Structure 1
Amino acid sequence: MQSKNQLNVIHVALKIPFADHLDYQLPRSLSLPPLGARVLVHLGRNKPVVGVVVGFSETSPHGSLKPINEILDNEAFFNDKNLALFKQAAKYYQITLGEMIFTAVPSWFKQVHNKPVPQQKWWQAKSSLEHAEQLLSTAPKQLEVFQYLLNHGPITSKSLTHLTKSAAQVCQLLADKGLAQANELCLVDNQAAIDPGYTLTTDQQTAWSKLQHHDKHFKVMLLDGVTGSGKTEIYIRFIQSLLKQHKQVLLLVPEIGLTPQLFHEISQRINGQMAILHSGLTDSARARVWQHAKTGKLDVVVATRSGIFTPFQNLGAILIDEEHDLSYKQQEGVRYSARDLAVLRGKIEHIPVVLGSATPSLETFNHAQQGQYLWLKLRSRTNHNPLPNIVLQNVNNNKPNMGLSVKSLNAIRLHLTEGNQVLVFLNRRGWSPKLICQECGWVAQCDDCDVYLTYHKHLDLLKCHHCDRRYLVPEFCPACGSQHVETMGVGTEKIAEGLKKNLSTTDVVRFDRDCVKTPKQWQNNLEIVRSGKPCVIVGTQMLSKGHDFPLLSLVVVVNVDNSFFSADFRATEYLAQLLTQVSGRAGRADTKGEVIIQTQFPEHPFFNALFAQGYETFAHQQLTERIQMQFPPATYLAIIRAQHRDSYMLESFLTEMTACCNDNQHVNVLGPIPAMIAKKQKLHRMQIILNGNQRRALHALIRQLKQQFNQNKVQWFIDIDPVSFD
């Protein structure tokens, strides 16, 4: 390292939109900070803020510089490869380096302090139940805690306080007896990995052989397997192989609810240290995962979207489960795609990237078809069960009551009497999506957003699902005074109550954001389902993703027709993915499944393309249409979104911006047009859609607009590769 006399100008990245870094003077009293360390600096006349060291120089073109106030870290909290990722991601998503870094890092590192990350004890059982019962025959409370650790560990002692107020002391007593152990992270050190003696299918063996061939260099591989084809088994064997080479693995999943399930499956099969990383953890817990991954203490990290930025000492591969899922795209702040950044990171670190899905996104499908990605196909289920029988139920002649037709209810009863479980899927929560006057047609709307209000019966309130504002239910129509104000449509709450009335002796378990808000609530519901008793599961999109319900034999899908009328060119792709994923939940064990789709349009060509010919054929057709219509992935898309309280000022601003784009020969411009939700939280929203056949030309135009309109009262931002027009 050079002396501070040679490199006394420090380049500091800050969370600012106008520069990648600012230059600061290193005082003689301070040693040169390491690259990637946090420092405290003044920004303008405000109080000191946290910045990150991203470079050094001997001189600065900016003349007199402000000094660095304090160096907060003795070592970097990310590595050089992370910094390379941050720089390239910032350039691609048209943001500053500081904005990218402060989006990526856990909140602990954004705070003004130089304290070490606090450690926490995670307890887990260390012995068999039989041995514990012998030692604890006279200590029933200790045995109860041990059994809980055996079934739910690793967990903190705080999570055991519902069993005993002295949970920490009881855990320590168990440790003293050799029955439990504490780790400094929520991790597993499985010294007795289970080998199930599983024989791979022909498809799996082919995929596994090709994966092994590409395990030491950059290669993107699409693991395209029907639901139940054994993608997880391939993940596990690949992870085992990499750990034997003393490498680390990052596995991304789309939802928090999927992390414990995959974590448990993998932890039973590998000999190594594992940890979970998602937004449900505390700031310090996320920071601990970063530290332990960076120093090599962790072998496998199972994470959601933001986990793509986790630093590793020796990362060997990145695996993306359900790569098509929209959850991998950040929709607020810096709008990055974790899947796309995984590919970029793999290229930077010269490691393989595996994208797994039963329904690949058309972008990934296109890359695989063109040979840019290695295409590994799993076309048969490991249990050799046939795919479920699809029934398109015409609801025009079979009107639903509380969301379900008589035929659907009869099918549900039949499957329950056979000892099976049933899933009723509806991607709409609440009781009803509208409250409407039967006399004049008035519909309850949010005052702050351009959306209808949803009625929630358990609250007896109307609720906006965009700003969370709540309203009392009017007794009379505010427009005409009529008493005939009624709810219209159906949500998961209404369906669940209808099922409870019709199936009074059967458990009805609801999965949606209203009743499942934490990982613990999710686990509690899963335990009811996995008890093996016949039950009906009612859920939204969170249930379409990778969950294994062995006794599920029937899936009923309610209200799919809205997608046929969407303005989003990807709507049918998303519907096909959703229906295929949900349908795949049926018949996964030893029973042939059945899927009932309630629709007003059973003859729609969409259904024939998807179910008669399969998702791959459907995707080929969709890709051909996209190429003809010049939509992604045949072209490159960006949206400039803007919002303001004054709709006239908003439209004037975007009209001026559009005028600067119209002469560009390589980019088609649409707009300004209202966003699909034209007002949200009292702000009017409009957008310009930029569609180009050359990525370089599209990005050059956006850079030009950023320079030209960098000072404006209208708030605007850029969405590169958008997945939604909301």
Structure 2
Amino acid sequence: MTEQTTIQHPYILKVALDVPLDGVFDYRSDTPLQAGQRVLVPFGPRKQVGIVVGTASESDIAPARLKSIIRHFDQEPALDAEFFSLLKFCADYYQYPYGQALLAALPARLRQTEPAQARQQFCYWLNAVGLAAGLDMLPARQVVQRRIFSALLEHGRLREADLAELSPGWRKGLAALSELGWIEQEQVYAGLRSILHASSVQPELNAEQSYAVQSVLQQRNEFRPWLLHGITGSGKTEVYMCLLQAILAGNEDQALVLVPEINLTPQLEARFRSRLPEYSLVTLHSNLSESERLQNWRLAQTGAARIVIGTRLSVFAPMPRLKCIIVDEEHDTSYKQQDSMRYHARDVALVRAQRRNIPIVLGSATPALETWHNAQVGRYGLLSLQQRAVSQSQLPQVKCVDVSKVQMQDGLSLPLVKALKTRLERGEQSLLFINRRGYAPVLLCNACHWIAPCMRCSSRLVVHLRQGCLRCHHCGHEQKIVRQCPSCGNPDLHPTGHGTQRLEEVLVKLLPEARILRVDRDSTRRKNALDHMLAAVHAGEVDILIGTQMLAKGHDFPNLTLVGVLDTDSALFSPDFRATERLFAQLMQVAGRAGRADKAGEVLIQTTLPEHHLFNALRGQDYAAYASGILQEREIAQFPPYEFLALVRAEANDYAPVQGFLQFAAEAAREMGSAALVYDPVRPQMERLKGMERGQLLMQASSRQVLQQLLRQLTPQMRAHPLSNRVRWNVDVDPQEF
């Protein structure tokens, strides 16, 4: 009888699926389920994981055609309403299907059709037998076992993360102690923490840092965005830690710390674990295994993790007791997602903080101009740190070397070579920054001026001499180095320009006694390679660092006193109006690596335009003056932050459908009578990428509301157009690149 009643009155569920369609889908269930639970449902010929977003009393689909869910995952905590609300806002604002946005924010294990199992974590301690036996019972040659025993004796209980810091062979050593019957264990779910390297030393804050901390804490129970504008080395991280210490003390609240890149996460994590060992901390980034990511995500979801440090996707991590958000290096373009839903993590963090009514701190030495403008007009509070945290430390002296007037030696000016030799004699370290990996950017024929092109992109192939290949850094295409010009047959081909590999070769010849280390994406491909390289730098085993933007920010090398910057002028002539803003931020960041301790720092920039206003501001370390000038230009040109932009991008194997699709979108947008300005479709600077012909359509409005109203009407029409199935297209709201 019960079964018959259930069939007659099934529960109707609204389920979001990872499909490129608007809306959610109706399914029926014989058991009541709450919003936020995962379910497995039939969708066409496949089975898909979906998320229950609500229920309904009836459906537009006839009862006979309404499909039933296959199963539900009832052993997992349900997602909360805040998670749904934030993703719905993002899907609407960034013009992306809600189901795809929702599922993409979950760890990969939660998108699979099987029950998601996180890696089990255990805690270990010495039992009565082990305590009675004592350390002397272990042979002196069993170094790892003795180290583990001593740590357990000192700290009582240790987690796997703690034991891993003692020795890479901790599992074998622990197993040996377990065989002796000395170890007890239990499964734990609390956040991972390290108590082995806790630091009791708390630096005293200077007046500027103290003011920043107190200003935020005075409004800790309300939404208030703060721009923490601090020169490099001014102690922004110390402000972050003092804030969290005050906000998290004596309660179960949580805090979210966003960082732009993965290679910054381990350093920040180590500092936070050392200073705040009493708070459980987890990280969320793409270098974690899927099992580790699921585990840390669930620790955040249950509230067991008090501090979450992560890259841009972490902005969606469910944190039920979130009380503070910190966005470090808020200007960094890595916060902008460049595929799927093109959200900006900093902007989403601001929305999340506003909805939770909590403070958010945006930290940077070179804020994004939009952020700086908001601080200047009073939308954000402005907190300035204008002195370095280390009292003996001073800002480096920045000089420009006019390469058109000095003698050059294989791409290096004589003043820079002399400065390198001086640091070598003093036993100090130097950094040469060139944001171009490989040996040389082009392979050139001097006879007919042929340059090796990429057949799949509108770009040139980069010479990688050691690997004997030409490689495209956009699509990954690779081929052997040609021995003669395919255009004229000339065998005299020359690698032209400098990359990190060629610079390393030049320095080996010029300074054979120097210990040189190259840090770029090619040299750090192996797991943990970057960590080992940075350890070597801190240990004084490196004299000269050659690096790309991987070394531009977040690193603190006390013995590094010279920074040399090569080949920066090309960004000054870029058609992208944001190019000079990014260049200034990059140069300020890399300049800040010099002289961070008690030794004076010097920065030498090789350029043909030493009197350019960007370099003038850089020499004075005056971001405010630079930003003021650029904002005036933006206002005259009607660029952000004074106007708001959206870009429709499309690509296909042939340009004809791209042109037809974008032309339709432009005409449809104009017919809507919107106040937004709709430009004609054009080819981007990179016309062909990965074998696809590309085009774009720019729309501009004086307010977000006008632009959003236009997009809400236009996007459904573009999805319904026949050409939408022949091209790959997307809508990029607030684009960062053109």
TM normalised by structure 2 equals 0.91
Shift of 1:585: 0.8
Contact 1:185 1:288 in 2 (8 A): no
Q: Distance in 1 between matches of 2:447 and 2:642?
A: 49
The one-letter code of the counterpart of 1:223 is: L
Partner of 1:52: 51
Contact 2:144 2:167 in 1 (8 A): no
Partner of 1:359: 366
Partner of 1:317: 324
Q: Kindly report which structure 2 residues correspond to 1:274-289, keeping only aligned pairs within 5 A, or say none.
A: 274-289=281-296
Contact 2:109 2:116 in 1 (8 A): no
Q: Distance in 1 between matches of 2:10 and 2:151?
A: 56
Shift of 1:660: 2.2
Contact 2:124 2:183 in 1 (8 A): no
Shift of 1:181: 11
Partner of 1:198: 203
Aligned length: 712
Q: Kindly report which structure 2 residues correspond to 1:632-711, keeping only aligned pairs within 5 A, or say none.
A: 632-662=640-670, 664-711=673-720
Partner of 2:129: none
Q: Kindly report which structure 2 residues correspond to 1:29-108, keeping only aligned pairs within 5 A, or say none.
A: 31-44=31-44, 46-64=45-63, 65-108=66-109
Contact 1:280 1:519 in 2 (8 A): no
The one-letter code of the counterpart of 1:55 is: G
Partner of 2:117: 116
The one-letter code of the counterpart of 1:635 is: E
Q: Distance in 2 between matches of 1:157 and 1:138?
A: 19
Q: Kindly report which structure 2 residues correspond to 1:332-371, keeping only aligned pairs within 5 A, or say none.
A: 332-371=339-378
2:381 aligned with 1:374, yes or no?
A: yes
Partner of 1:629: 637
Q: Secondary structure at the match of 1:381?
A: coil
Shift of 1:119: 1.7
Q: Distance in 2 between matches of 1:684 and 1:598?
A: 36
- Unaligned 5+ residue runs, structure 1? 126-130
Q: Distance in 1 between matches of 2:209 and 2:523?
A: 38
Shift of 1:550: 1.1
Shift of 1:142: 3.4
From 456, 468, 480, the equivalent of 1:460 is 468
Q: Distance in 2 between matches of 1:716 and 1:117?
A: 36
From 570, 574, 578, the equivalent of 2:582 is 574
2:432 aligned with 1:432, yes or no?
A: no
Q: Secondary structure at the match of 1:523?
A: helix
Q: Distance in 1 between matches of 2:261 and 2:408?
A: 31
Q: 1:450 to 1:154 in 2, by over 3 A?
A: farther
Q: Distance in 1 between matches of 2:136 and 2:474?
A: 52
Contact 2:40 2:69 in 1 (8 A): yes
Shift of 1:218: 1.5
Q: Distance in 1 between matches of 2:544 and 2:512?
A: 11
Q: Distance in 1 between matches of 2:635 and 2:666?
A: 25
Partner of 2:193: 188
Shift of 1:518: 5.2
- Residue deviations 1:177-216 (CA, integer Å, cap 9, x gap): 79x9996688215499533242211111111110111222
Q: What's the C-alpha RMSD, in Å, of the aligned pairs?
A: 2.9
Q: Distance in 1 between matches of 2:564 and 2:413?
A: 10
From 591, 595, 606, the equivalent of 2:599 is 591
Q: Distance in 1 between matches of 2:181 and 2:408?
A: 57
Which deviates the most, 33-42 or 47-56? Answer: 33-42
Contact 1:248 1:299 in 2 (8 A): yes
Shift of 1:313: 2.8
- Residue deviations 1:535-566 (CA, integer Å, cap 9, x gap): 11111111112111111100001111011110
- Residue deviations 1:235-265 (CA, integer Å, cap 9, x gap): 1111111221321111111111111111111
Partner of 2:734: 721
Contact 1:121 1:185 in 2 (8 A): no
The one-letter code of the counterpart of 1:659 is: E
Partner of 1:540: 548
- Unaligned 5+ residue runs, structure 2? 127-133
Q: Secondary structure at the match of 1:251?
A: strand
Contact 1:419 1:534 in 2 (8 A): no
Contact 2:470 2:479 in 1 (8 A): yes
Q: Distance in 2 between matches of 1:467 and 1:147?
A: 52
From 326, 337, 340, the equivalent of 1:330 is 337
Which deviates the most, 647-656 or 82-91? Answer: 647-656
Shift of 1:447: 1.2
Q: Secondary structure at the match of 2:245?
A: helix
Q: Secondary structure at the match of 1:353?
A: strand
- Residue deviations 1:605-658 (CA, integer Å, cap 9, x gap): 221133336011111111121111100011111110000111122112212222
2:240 aligned with 1:247, yes or no?
A: no
From 543, 558, 571, the equivalent of 1:563 is 571
Q: Distance in 2 between matches of 1:136 and 1:368?
A: 64
Partner of 1:128: none
TM normalised by structure 1 equals 0.92
Contact 1:40 1:49 in 2 (8 A): yes
